[in-house]
Amino acid sequence: MPMSSDRLVNAIRNPERPTVSVEFFPPKDERAAEIMLHTARTLQPLGIDFASITYGAGGTSRDTTVAYGSKLIEMGFPLVGHLTCVGHSREELLSIIQQYDAAGFSGILALRGDPPKGQTSFTPHPLGFSHAIELVQLIQQEHRGRFAIGVAGFPENHPEATDTPSDIRYLSQKVAAGADFVTTQLFLDNADYFRFVEAARSAGVGVPILPGVLPVLSLKQARNFCGFCKARIPDALTQELEACGDNEEAQRRVGVSWAHRQIRELLEKGAPGVHLYILNKSESAVEVLSALRA
């Protein structure tokens, strides 16, 4: 029985314990699917509050979000499906939301999406939406109360934002339109998150803001990933990773230790939980979660 949107929202709002969510992406082939499902089975018993599954992120398939989301639900995860406006009319978005409904998704992370590869700016579908807020409004109009609604937040500003005040204002509008929680882009310096939360609270954003944390696997991966998301790698982390030389396992352990320290400080200073970017891999996620429990 899928978790109701109310229960999921209550779990995210629960001040008694931190919310832990993990993000999967739909695998490309059978081998990748085995790895993802193995990761899901490994993490499932660890008290994860919800899993989320991406939609077309970084050029991955959009057709398999429902299929793999359904598998995660079967395993017992309350599930938040990401959804973007890229290339979709309003009617197509409604049809996908209906599929999420039928599959038992508990929530939707309502996103605009990035311009497709090769395009520099976002062009909306002629019968679609220009900004994530319109998707939040659509879900509210057509399925009020059926889904917990999340939106994206950017501790280091969205890459297209002209300035911080306008980026925060648009975030507060998404929340006022009906978002129940915010999940942030990954960041590696907690100061960025705390500054962002303070600005969001000043702008009237009252919902939980789940910090997005990536246990870095290597310097190369961090540079790729952070380059794509426009997230800054602190010098101290670069130095720790460089000190490992070519030893990939040593670099992974640095990533786990950094993420663990990051999350511990986030929770100590009042973050409502953590959203882990696990990249469908279990090892670092298990180590980070075990270290937190200990």
Ligand X SMILES: Cc1cc2nc3c(=O)[nH]c(=O)nc-3n(C[C@H](O)[C@H](O)[C@H](O)COP(=O)(O)OP(=O)(O)OC[C@H]3O[C@@H](n4cnc5c(N)ncnc54)[C@H](O)[C@@H]3O)c2cc1C
The residue among 115 and 290 lying less far from ligand X, judged by its C-beta, is 115
CB of 165 to ligand X, least distance (A): 10
CB of 34 to ligand X, least distance (A): 22
CB of 133 to ligand X, least distance (A): 6
Kindly tell me the burial class for residue 58, based on how many C-beta atoms sit within 10 Å of its own C-beta (0-12, 13-18, 19 or more). Answer: exposed
Using rule CB under 6 A, residue 185 touches ligand X: yes
CA atoms within 13 A on the CB side of 117: 6
Helices (H), the chain: 5-13, 30-43, 65-74, 90-103, 132-143, 164-176, 190-202, 219-229, 235-242, 248-268, 283-293
Choices 98-106, 139-147, 159-167, 282-290; region in contact with ligand X by CB under 6 A? 159-167
Task: Please say if 268 is a catalytic residue.
Answer: no
Total residues interacting with ligand X, rule: CB under 6 A: 25
Using rule CB under 6 A, residue 284 touches ligand X: no
As a whole number of Å, the end-to-end CA separation of the chain is: 31
CB 187 within 8 A of CB 158: no
Q: What is the distance between the alpha carbons of residues 241 and 201, in angstroms, rounded to a whole number?
A: 34
The residue among 160 and 248 lying less far from ligand X, judged by its C-beta, is 160
* Helix-helix angle 164-176:190-202, to 10 degrees: 60
The residue among 131 and 253 lying less far from ligand X, judged by its C-beta, is 131
For the stretch 288-294, contacts whose Cβ atoms lie closer than 8 Å and that sit 24 or more positions apart, written own/partner, are: 288/215, 288/256, 288/259, 288/260, 288/263, 289/20, 289/43, 289/46, 291/256, 291/260, 292/260, 292/263, 292/264, 292/267
Using rule CB under 6 A, residue 248 touches ligand X: no
Which residues from 107-146 bind ligand X, rule CB under 6 A? 109, 111-114, 131-133
CB of 183 to ligand X, least distance (A): 4
The residue among 137 and 257 lying less far from ligand X, judged by its C-beta, is 137
CB of 16 to ligand X, least distance (A): 24
The residue among 24 and 251 lying less far from ligand X, judged by its C-beta, is 24
> Nearest CA to 65 among 76, 50, 81, 49?
81
Binding residue (CB under 6 A) for ligand X from 55, 68, 147, 196: 55
Query: Where along the sequence are the contacts to ligand X (CB under 6 A)?
Result: 54-57, 82, 84, 109, 111-114, 131-133, 152, 158, 160-161, 166-167, 170, 174, 183, 185, 212
Residues classed as catalytic = 23
